[in-house]
Amino acid sequence: MKRKNKFAALTLTASLMLSGVVMMPADFSGPATAEAAKPGNPAAFDKKVTARIDERRIYEDVRRLSVDIGPRVAGTEEERVAAGMIRERLQSYGYEIDVQEFAIPDTMVGHLSTSGGEEVTVSIPSGSASTPPDGLTAPLYDAGLGYPEDFTEAAAGKIALIQRGEIGFRDKIDHAAAAGASAVLIYDNSEQSGPPNMSIGTDAPIPVAGIKKVSGEALLEDIAATGGSVTLKVDALSGRTSQNIIAKRTPKKGTNHEIVYVSAHFDSVPLAPGANDNASGTATALEIARVLKSYPIDKEVRFVFVGAEEIGLLGSEHYVSTLSGQELSRSLTNFNMDMVGTGWENATAIYLNTVDGLPNLSTESAMAAGERIGTPSELVLYKRGSSDHVSFHEAGIPAVNFIRREPGTAALEPYYHSPEDTIDHISIGRLKEAGDLVGSAVYSVIRSN
């Protein structure tokens, strides 16, 4: 298959401009990666990785995380079980393990049922008020799009059912509260696989829940029109914690080695099995840890598995905040993987996202490794945050995130953050590609021979 390396051309141009030295493309022997200074044939060392990266193992771990465990929302038992699985595995590979537990903010959880006994799936935005512990039972009030004029006196004490669109969520909520509604249900205006994830700001005056378009329409027809009621329960989960699992290996000789980080988050958004986001990156990092567990190295390697990414990169932020000044000064680079296994046919490119859009040791070693091993997918250097590489970058550590996107548009798979992010949409071949590419790149930086 054909593979374009946009980055090689870009770097060549840049180095020509900077140095004024004329280089022929054939002389572009790759960047100043650590590997460039190392003896031996890099391709032979790649083989030590690619011959052993076993995509069936990766796929099996994606299945454990996304099917056996399922959605792994920060602070839940499922996230904790996933962390336990990762810790046990890394221990079995002989790594020194560190478990970090850290507090996360309260999150809201909810439950909605009709007087007819039907359950409706809801999403509760952070910032929603709570209901009494037994819930709030009231008739529904059809409040259209939630403009002030959509409310009459009849709204008082009822649960306002409002369609998404035209005005902001918070405006709808404030209008409902001003009319005396006891709570708000906002239903989507397009058909999605899950209820909407809404941003409503802080301290909403009444409880708020999001529901799917189909649920809203059914409630309008079956409940609002017939005078039935619904019961909404919204609770804050407080005092919760998430955790990071860190596996470390240091070279046999010497001390104070440079540190290379390989990271992935294992939590997911609510209702999403998180097969691609991010069981794929987690499982691939686990496999790289297995393959690299005993090869001689001249740098310290840390596999950093983080929780609570989906609620604001909290795990990785916590991790870098625990690094001492001495560790930070030894920190060389970070390879992060987030969403590397989608089978979505348009996602034919692996994007190498850096926060500043510039190449660094991680992107350069990955580009060089991809060139050597013949990674089939196009590799695209791109400026983008939105994953744990941001935390490393902000701590002053050069970092990259590997993620599958559609070339040109940079679109993500349509299953992103939805209940459809399932193992059915995972490509075993692309898991292998990610493992080979990132594994070879990491090894090229840390190997000692």
| Contact set with Zn ion (CB under 5 A) | 277-278, 338
Task: Pick the closest to residue 421 from 237, 293, 278 (CA basis).
Answer: 278
Q: Which ranges constitute the DSSP H helices of 152-212?
A: 169-178
User: Residue 235 or 338: which CB sits closer to Zn ion?
Assistant: 338
What is the nearest approach in angstroms of Zn ion to the Cβ of residue 246?
19
Residue 33, token pair as written in the block = 């990666």
User: Residue 277 or 300: which CB sits closer to Zn ion?
Assistant: 277
Q: Distance (Å, rounded) from C-alpha 38 to C-alpha 144?
A: 67
Residue located via tokens 């401009």: 17
State residue 182 phi and psi, 5-degree precision. Answer: -90, -20
What is the nearest approach in angstroms of Zn ion to the Cβ of residue 64?
18
User: Residue 363 or 387: which CB sits closer to Zn ion?
Assistant: 387
User: Residue 42 or 315: which CB sits closer to Zn ion?
Assistant: 315
Q: Distance (Å, rounded) from C-alpha 5 to C-alpha 375?
A: 10
What is the nearest approach in angstroms of Zn ion to the Cβ of residue 359?
23
What is the nearest approach in angstroms of Zn ion to the Cβ of residue 124?
21
Bridge partners, 297 (sequence order): 447
User: Residue 107 or 278: which CB sits closer to Zn ion?
Assistant: 278
What is the nearest approach in angstroms of Zn ion to the Cβ of residue 294?
30
Contacts of 409 (CB under 8 A, 6+ apart): none
Task: Pick the closest to residue 351 from 408, 435, 396 (CA basis).
Answer: 408
User: Residue 363 or 401: which CB sits closer to Zn ion?
Assistant: 401
What is the nearest approach in angstroms of Zn ion to the Cβ of residue 309?
6
Q: Which ranges constitute the DSSP H helices of 204-262?
A: 213-222
Q: Distance (Å, rounded) from C-alpha 48 to C-alpha 96?
A: 23
User: Residue 79 or 277: which CB sits closer to Zn ion?
Assistant: 277
Are the beta carbons of 110 and 237 closer than 8 angstroms?
A: no
What is the nearest approach in angstroms of Zn ion to the Cβ of residue 106?
22
Helices 55-63 and 428-446 pack at an angle, to 10 degrees, of 110
User: Residue 390 or 437: which CB sits closer to Zn ion?
Assistant: 390
70: left (phi over 0), alpha (psi -120 to 50) or beta: left
What is the nearest approach in angstroms of Zn ion to the Cβ of residue 315?
11
* Cα distance between the two ends of the chain: 31
